[in-house]
Chains A and B, each alone.
Chain A
Amino acid sequence: MITLGLGLLLLAGAYAVAVIEEWATTGRLRPAAPLLAGLALLGRESLVPRKADRVLFEVAPVLFLVAAVASFAVLPLAPGTAIADLATGALFINAALAYVMVALVMAGWGPDAIYAMVGGWRFLAQLVAYGMLVVMPLTAVAMRAQSLTNSRIVEAQEALWNIFTQPLGFVLFWLATMALAFLPPFDLPTAPGELAGGVEGEYSGVRLAIFRLARLTLVFSLASAITVFYLGGWLGPVLPGWVWSILKTLAVASLMLVGGRYLPRLREEDLLAWAWKLGVPLALVNIFWVGVTLLLVK
């Protein structure tokens, strides 16, 4: 029952993300637009490119969706309300996100098209670099909670949210999630105007619909992850816990979608250089800082 409810919530969340994304891009609020666009995509022919690597081409959008849903599955909405509150939840979310990259590499290689391939390999480098900035801040989060279970991580923020105790980790994690969801200015694998759609450029019809749905799901899931790891999850006064979770997640998703729109797209080498030369050392500083504060406060 909880699984079904959370599944529906995830779908509704992905829809809300689609509405917000259009609002942020075009400045028009049209609540029915994603539904119409989705129906239009389903009605269109789904082309398969010549000489496509058929297995990879077909598996990629589905794997993308599965990975996005799996990353949401370990995040609790309220006490005891998660699809699977694993004892290794904070690690599992990394595992699920790694398969987003596998899906995009498949989508890049599968269609036998140059722009798609460039986009796919770009995302490989992007995820390997920014995956570090997901794992390392999460290490500090787990240190404070003394647990990898996501519900314990929320409970550990009862006194003070992690955004206040480890602001550096929060900023790094935020940027990393934006890079993982390839939102602007990190949208290198799709890069409209430069790669003509990149990894999703060769997809059309129902396959593209799955691809888009997976991306929206991923944005909602990552916003939910920020809420759980840094913004105290379900914690909040007056309103019930699940309402707080949803409100925070939507607020985070809106900021993720709006913020990057005003920045130019980064160059691949700058993006990677910043992650490895600046991000990783800062993430180590964050772990050190959190370790010291934990020892001192205790």
Chain B
Amino acid sequence: MILQTLAVAFFGLVAVWFSIVVFRTKSMVRSALALLGAMVALGLLFLALEAEFLGVLQLMMMATEMSVMAIFMVMFMMDPGGLGQMEMTHQKKLSLVAGIVGGLVAALLALLVDWGALVQAQNLDMPERQNYNLGMEIMGRSMLIFETAGVTILVSMIAGTLLAIVSRTQTTEGQE
């Protein structure tokens, strides 16, 4: 129990530290990978909280997402390598206020809400039980929600790709 608390605290602090690095660095790629570091720390924190599926899913999804984000930033930013000492922050006052208020609200929620008694691991196959329950939830009661969200994301991805492709006729007309 003590070990678990220590692990949770440790990974929490690692996540905060990486989040600070995201804004302290000058390089886009470093910034994206630092964000990945924060997400990995959160994934490990989930594992420490015995939410195995959630933790592994977090580790899996974030690796590709953050790397894809890195290449997009390299493509679109004028100084991806940070050679020109590019600043990662903007609207400093607003973001400071928003950050502090958001942090305080989160901390207050964590302290004030009555979370109930701690759930102890009853048996060794608890993660397997979690997976089973999650599957039953997704394929049962919440199926419509997940299906709707999934199809919406797919449609927006296809639409985004179509918008990004320059049509051939348009290009030739433009050249004329």
Q: Is the CB of A128 within 8 A of B64?
A: yes
Check if B131 sits within 8 Å of A106, measured CB to CB. Answer: no
Shortest distance between the CB of A129 and any CB in chain B (Å): 11
B127 x A88 contact (CB < 8 A): yes
Contact A88 B52 (CB under 8 A): yes
Q: Is the CB of A55 within 8 A of B53?
A: no
Q: A101 an interface residue at 8 Å Cβ cutoff?
A: yes
Q: Say yes or no for B29: interface residue by CB 8 A criterion.
A: yes
- Docked pose: A87 CA to B124 CA in angstroms: 10
> Which residues does chain B contribute within 8 Å of A81, judged by CB atoms?
none
Residue interface bits A82-112, CB-to-B below 8 A is 1, else 0: 0000111001101100110110011001001
Q: Does A147 contact B (CB under 8 A)?
A: yes
> Is A91's CB under 8 angstroms from B70's CB?
no
B45-86 contacts to A (CB < 8 Å):
52-53, 56-57, 59-60, 63-64, 66-68, 70-71, 81
**Contact call A101/B63, Cβ cutoff below 8 A:** yes
> Are A121 and B30 interface neighbours, CB within 8 A?
no
If the complex has contacts A88-B127, A94-B60, A95-B60, are A102 and B52 also in contact, measured as CB distance less than 8 A? no
A53 at the interface (CB under 8 A from B): yes
B residues in contact with A86, CB < 8 Å: 52, 56, 127
Which A residues are in CB contact (< 8 Å) with B131?
Answer: 87-88, 147-148
Total A-B Cβ pairs within 8 A: 66
Known A-B contacts A91-B53, A124-B67, A128-B64; A102 and B128 likewise in contact (beta carbons under 8 Å): no
Query: Which of chain B's residues has its CB closest to A94's CB?
Result: B60
A99, B71: Cα distance in complex, Å: 16
- What's the minimum C-beta distance from B34 to chain A, rounded to whole angstroms? 10
- B122 CB → nearest A CB, Å: 14
CA distance A226 to B94 in the complex (A): 52
**A102 x B63 contact (CB < 8 A):** yes
Are A95 and B128 neighbours in the complex by a CB distance under 8 Å? Answer: no
Q: Do the beta carbons of B64 and A131 come within 8 Å of each other?
A: yes
Q: Taking the complex as formed, is B36 at the interface, i.e. its CB lies under 8 A from any CB of chain A?
A: yes
Report A-chain residues with C-beta under 8 Å of the C-beta of B70. 105, 109
A149 at the interface (CB under 8 A from B): yes
B154 to chain A, nearest CB (A): 12
Closest A residue to B75 by CB, please name it: A121
Q: Does A156 contact B (CB under 8 A)?
A: no
Query: Which A residues form the contact surface with B (CB < 8 A)?
Result: 53, 55-56, 86-88, 91-92, 94-95, 98-99, 101-102, 105-106, 109, 112, 121, 124, 127-128, 131, 147-149
B-side interface residues toward A, CB under 8 Å? Answer: 27, 29-30, 33, 36, 52-53, 56-57, 59-60, 63-64, 66-68, 70-71, 81, 125, 127-128, 130-131
